[in-house]
Structure 1
Amino acid sequence: MTKMATKRFFALLVAGLATCSQADAATMRLSLDDALKIARERNTMLKAARAKNDQADARVVQSRQAYLPKVTLSETVMHSNDPGAVLVGKLQQESAFYDFTTNPMSPDFGDFALDKLNHPAAITDFHTSLQVQQPIYNRDAIIGGKMARSARKAQGFMTDRAAENIELNVKKAFYGLILAKKNLDATEQSIGIMQRYSGEAARGYAAGLVTKSDKLSTEVRLAELRDQKLQIQDAIRNAQDALRTMLALGPDDTVQPVGDLKVDSRLPASAASASADGRSDLKALEAFREVTGYQHDMARAQYLPRVNAFAQQNWHDSSFLGTEGSSWTIGLNVQWNIFDGMATKGKVQEAKAQALEAQYNFQAAKEQSDMEIAMSRRALVSSRERIAVTQKSLEAAKVSFDFIGEQFRTGMAMTFELLMREQAWSWAKMRLNQARYDYCIAKSELEYYSAR
């Protein structure tokens, strides 16, 4: 293979590898609704929250032990020559014998002969036991079931709030990406214009019509815009990373947002009547108040007795799972904790304090939510007013910049005047984009802080 052919081979190989690596990456054109749908389906934190729902369901299932019987099957094998164990084992196996009928004058005491009682041969006993325990009255366990159901309800509301939180963060990242791209377009537009003016300043300087200071000032402004562009590109990458994380996309996937920073022609009617009553996280706190109330009742119930019934069927045999020696037992067990060293009293006091804490947490969250709604409502109104102001400012700055630009080309305007007008125009574009972004975020936050 010639040297030229070798170079071509490696060039094709590198190009093929690059193509394969790019095949796994994808540019996804997503609207906000598309992004929200993907987040609901794929977001890892939301999946973890749903797994907590499953855990709470499992605890509800466990709480049913307060009503349902418990059935246990066991098998125990014993081999011993202990005199008491041997005698009891033979009685349980129903294999102990004696014979007084064959020779009444010389009866055969069998297993009850003194020598066999004192020095018996070892016995092997397989004990099969089937036991059923049925709760009759366990007050604390019954309350525990109610508490588990309330906790499941609270967890469901918390999962709903987790989904709403993910949706808000997706909206912030999505709108942030749109804002950064619009700012990038505005900055690149300003760079293109300033490059032309910088070129004119350079030609004027070469012709002796512009001072070196004026020529350098255009280059300084051009460097500022390029630095601003680099910062905006970082903001785009950060927004892309945030979206990729929340949508559970691959590290090389790119989101292309479809949409704009849409501003309503008038304020939404729901903005004035927004209320936090019925919000999912507040419902969760209410359910947690129920849980702490049940905890208090459950702690007090430990003062009461517990009643359980049981039934047991036993089989003893010399072989595995044998059924020769059969016996049964039924009974009733009552346990009453008369004094436990003040432990129950301390649990009651602790549960009561936890109930008060849950109540105060709910009140604090309600007050906080009212404040958040008021703040987001003000932000929505002020951002809309800012849009109107900055729109007029942008129009005026553009007219002023175009006028000074024409004056600069004819030598009738100074460089500093051009730079001042260009900065005002660029700044007005950024402020208008920011005001529109703030409106979209304020609207999203108002929906998040209000009940849906």
Structure 2
Amino acid sequence: MKRIAVAIMLSLPLLAAHKHLTLEQALMLVKKKNLEIRVAEDEMQMKKMDARIAEGYNYGSADIIFNALRSNDAGNVFGFKLQSREATFRDFGFSDFLGGVGQALGMAGGDFNYFSSLMAQPAMQNALLDTAPNDLNYPGARNHFQEKIQYKVPLYVGGKLNKYGQIARKMALMSRLDKQKVINEKVYQTRKTFYDIALVNSYIKNLKIILKNVEELENTVSNMVKEGYALDIDLLQVKSKKADVLRMLNQAKLNRDLAYQFLSFLVDEKVDSVSVEDQDVPMPAMKREEMVNRNLDIQKARMGLEVTELAVGVERAAYYPQVGAFAEYGSADNTFMNDFTDKDAYTVGIQMKWNIFNGMIDKSKYEKARIQNLKARHQVDLAKKGIALQIDKIITEIKSREYDIKSLQQKVKFMRRVYENYYNRYKEGLISINDVLIKNSEHIQAVLKLAKTRNARNNKVFELENIINKGML
């Protein structure tokens, strides 16, 4: 039990939620622990392995081959003996041939001239040549063990392997851009959530001020009702307004809780509170051309263009000869690894293959690759213009909302003063409670609109940062 208690005590700090988490700490956690970033990292590592695979083809392949066979097939057995360097004249069927020659000698009775005349007779020659060699046609079953090492390497393939290697490396670099895009997205979401929380806190703070004013108005109206200067309906109207403010306040707190839950998901750890100032996101300080060039989609499009240029080289390689080398060394016997060096053998060679006609397929593939490259150039130009237009549009929207924010900030201050004025005039009996509540509603609407406008402006700045790759490590 003591060990369990100690283990629980040690694990408590690991399970504890983050309190007063700063934006810098949150960004470090996101880049380190976010699961989507980890998936992108895994994808990037796989692309690196693809590049190594493509490079490995340049060095050829070496294989150790082991064959263990048993057969009574005449062709196989004869081949086994030849590979084992054990073939004899008997294996060719000479025992049957010599038997026929012996019969001819017996018929000659030792007379060499007669023997020569017998052998010169077509009938005798046909009889000997038509004799079926039993040892060759019906050999006994034989085991065959072959051990060899084999190496194949491409010597020249028109630059195809080189281009494939470069393409694989470009794809690996593109996967880095894909990972960076995921990082930028998570940085964008994290920063946005922090500023959302700050805005909600500011909104809650203003709502609490409004609630305090409504509660003060409620006390005033309640006292005036007791003294006969106001009606019960006035108090009911104020209580209804107070209920609306409380509803808005609770909704804002729930939205803040939801933001904390999303932030916990991003950093993959529990977050209870953050440390963030209530301020608007600063605009990125860089020239428009730099913004366009930093965009990841533009960088990826340019890299895709380079890949299509390499693909043209790959298809061009079909016009050149393909040259490869081959080397093999091994040994064979009817017993495993028996007399290896006495029965070893080697084979070396070079092969060249050069296609001279295949129905214009190679030409069509080359033209297709060339057109694909031209298309990629057009896509890069289109992407640059599209991103530039998108950046201009976002900057315009940011500036427009900044003007709105300045105007709304003044309006909030003004509506607060107006409400205070109407409240004092109500206490003097100069206006009705409806007039006070209308100004209170206008004050709330101004506060809400200011919060929404600030949030919309910040979202556009975050969107711009994401487009211009500001989250780059």
Is the counterpart of residue 257 in structure 1 residue 270 in structure 2? Answer: no
Question: 1:364/1:229 Cα in 2 relative to 1: closer, same or farther (>3 Å)?
Answer: farther
Amino acid at match of 2:275: V
State the number of aligned residues: 422
Unaligned runs of 5+ in 1: 1-16, 100-105
Deviation at 1:38, TM superposition (A): 1.4
Is the counterpart of residue 246 in structure 1 residue 237 in structure 2? Answer: no
Corresponding position of 2:157: 138
TM-score by length of 1: 0.82
The answer to which of 186-195 and 202-211 deviates more is 202-211
How big is each residue's C-alpha offset from its partner over 1:331-371, in whole Å with a ceiling of 9 and x where there is no partner? Answer: 11223344445554554344344334433332232122212
Is the counterpart of residue 182 in structure 1 residue 198 in structure 2? Answer: no
C-alpha separation in 2, matches of 1:271 and 1:185: 37
Question: 1:83/1:40 Cα in 2 relative to 1: closer, same or farther (>3 Å)?
Answer: same
Corresponding position of 1:4: none
The answer to which of 270-279 and 253-262 deviates more is 270-279
Question: 1:315/1:273 Cα in 2 relative to 1: closer, same or farther (>3 Å)?
Answer: closer
C-alpha separation in 2, matches of 1:336 and 1:118: 42
Match of 1:302, SS?
helix
Corresponding position of 2:400: 382
How big is each residue's C-alpha offset from its partner over 1:96-115, in whole Å with a ceiling of 9 and x where there is no partner? Answer: 3469xxxxxx989xxxx933
Corresponding position of 2:353: 335
Q: 2:32 aligns with which of 41, 46, 59?
A: 41
Superposition CA RMSD, Å: 3.3
Deviation at 1:412, TM superposition (A): 3.1
C-alpha separation in 2, matches of 1:398 and 1:87: 109
How many percent of aligned residue pairs carry the same amino acid?
A: 20
Deviation at 1:309, TM superposition (A): 0.7
Deviation at 1:81, TM superposition (A): 0.8
C-alpha separation in 1, matches of 2:135 and 2:228: 133
Q: Which has the larger radius of gyration?
A: 2
Question: 1:80/1:267 Cα in 2 relative to 1: closer, same or farther (>3 Å)?
Answer: closer
Is the counterpart of residue 82 in structure 1 residue 73 in structure 2? Answer: yes
Question: 1:220/1:321 Cα in 2 relative to 1: closer, same or farther (>3 Å)?
Answer: farther
Deviation at 1:78, TM superposition (A): 0.8
Within a 5 Å distance, the mapping from 1:151-230 to structure 2 comes to: 151-202=171-222, 204-205=224-225, 208-230=228-250
Match of 2:19, SS?
strand
Corresponding position of 2:388: 370
Match of 1:67, SS?
helix
Q: Which runs of 4+ in 1 moved over 6 A?
A: 20-23
C-alpha separation in 2, matches of 1:22 and 1:406: 54
Match of 1:29, SS?
coil
Question: 1:27/1:451 Cα in 2 relative to 1: closer, same or farther (>3 Å)?
Answer: closer
Q: 1:308 aligns with which of 324, 327, 331?
A: 324
How big is each residue's C-alpha offset from its partner over 1:47-106, in whole Å with a ceiling of 9 and x where there is no partner? Answer: 22222221221121111234212101110111001112112111211233469xxxxxx9
Unaligned runs of 5+ in 2: 1-7, 91-96, 100-131
Corresponding position of 2:419: 401
TM-score by length of 2: 0.79
C-alpha separation in 1, matches of 2:162 and 2:290: 40
Question: 1:176/1:400 Cα in 2 relative to 1: closer, same or farther (>3 Å)?
Answer: same
Is the counterpart of residue 26 in structure 1 residue 46 in structure 2? Answer: no
The answer to which of 399-408 and 440-449 deviates more is 440-449
The question of whether the paired residues in 1 share the 8 Å contact of 2:152 and 2:327 is answered with: yes
Question: 1:116/1:247 Cα in 2 relative to 1: closer, same or farther (>3 Å)?
Answer: same
The question of whether the paired residues in 2 share the 8 Å contact of 1:78 and 1:125 is answered with: yes
Match of 2:87, SS?
coil
